[in-house]
Amino acid sequence: MSPRKSSEKPSETESREGDSAADAAEVDALDVETVDPTAIAPDDVEAHPVMVDPPSDADDEDADDSDAEASGTLTDERLLNKKKTEEPPEGFFQRLIYELTFHLVHPGDSRAATERKALSARIATPFDHGARYVPVLTRKGGVGKTTVTTLLGMALAEVRDDRVIAIDANPDRGTLAERVPRSTAATVRDVVKLVAGIKGFTDFAELVSKDTTRLHVLASDTDPLLSEAFDEDDYNVVADEAARFYSVVLTDCGTGVVHSVMQPTLERADGLVIVSGGSIDEARLASETLTWLEANGWGELVSNCIVALNTATQGTNVVKLEELEDHFLTRVRDVVRIPYDPMLAAGSVIDWQKLSPLTRQAARELAALVVEGVADRPGA
């Protein structure tokens, strides 16, 4: 029996697949070089329009956002022409090379200039918040406490971007205001009387004298009877007002350590400077001051303090200063020698620019050490 042929017709899908396979076979059989594009009649070509959506506003915004630069990309490194903004080197030979090469070679600063700038950077270290209180004290008069306070204040004020004030808290008519050009007759007593009317820095600045280094000085009462009345509460009022406008508050303390103003001064202290003369008895009194402070609960303040060794006092030339320094270094953080200077010996107004380079250097070293000791403290 012969097989029965199916009577079913191929489906439409199968038919299309067969046609496609046949067309593909014909295309493969053709030689590409023999195909003539012009042989196709235009009427046999079907045109199929392609619909393209126009770009939306959102797409434009996305494109703009992807190309836009943030303001943070406008950095100094990117925009500044370093050849036009760089500072010329300091130092004779360094500057000579810089000029001879038409500013193409910058050899850097001399060693002295580099050290000076590094010291200035230490002095200018910014504080996170609050004022820093630094009392300057001694148990003996005549060793240069007020002079050291002035030098320290000038060295700080000349370099720092914030404000520095020195307060004369001597109960026996201090002379701190006489070390700078006196521009006002106001004293600490006036601050206490006018505290309710001090609304801003301008009001307070009218009560202080100013130096060319930008140091501000608040004088003590000139009448000893009135000065004696300057007590603990008065000092707190003055110190609080000073802290509103100044980042560094130096206090020129009176002679001795038992008067009423000393307690609030030490309670506020973030750092401390002890002044000692170069003679044997002066050094002993300074060392005894450290002992008194340790015995009364100020041991941490002592270990962080700086001793300013004034070598301009009598007897210094016959004393082994190295031995004095070694002694104090066993008790305090550091020691700075203050050299003899004719301008300081006169006891009058101190002109910072007219001081000897050695004196200015010593004051700057003292300032740098003080800043390093108080920079990390919490402040007021």
192-211 pLDDT, tens per residue? Answer: 999 999 999 999 999 999 99
C-beta separation of 249 from 134 below 8 A? yes
Whole-prediction pTM: 0.75
- DSSP-assigned beta bridge partners for residue 210: 216
Q: Give the CA dihedral 239, 376, 256, 306, nearest 10 degrees.
A: -140
Residue-wise over 294-320: b if at least 16 C-beta within 10 A, else e? eeeebeebbebbbbbbbbbbeebeebe
Mean pLDDT of 65-88: 75
Cα 62 from chain centre: 42
Helix axis angle for 145-159 and 357-374, nearest 10°, is 80
Pick 74 or 12 by higher pLDDT: 74
Q: Are strands 215-218 and 209-210 parallel, antiparallel or unpaired?
A: antiparallel
Residue 53: CB partners within 8 Å, gap ≥ 6?
none
User: Measured between alpha carbons, how far is 61 from 244 in angstroms, rounded to an integer?
Assistant: 49
Cα 277 to Cα 116, 313, 367, 377, distances in angstroms? 27, 6, 19, 29
C-beta separation of 241 from 198 below 8 A? yes
259-306 pLDDT, tens per residue? Answer: 778 999 999 999 999 999 998 999 999 999 999 999 999 999 999 999
Residue for token digits 């609304």? 199
Which domains can be identified in the chain, with CATH numbers?
89-118 (no CATH), 129-374 (3.40.50.300)
% the chain with pLDDT above 70: 78
Confidence of residue 118 (pLDDT cuts 50, 70, 90): very high
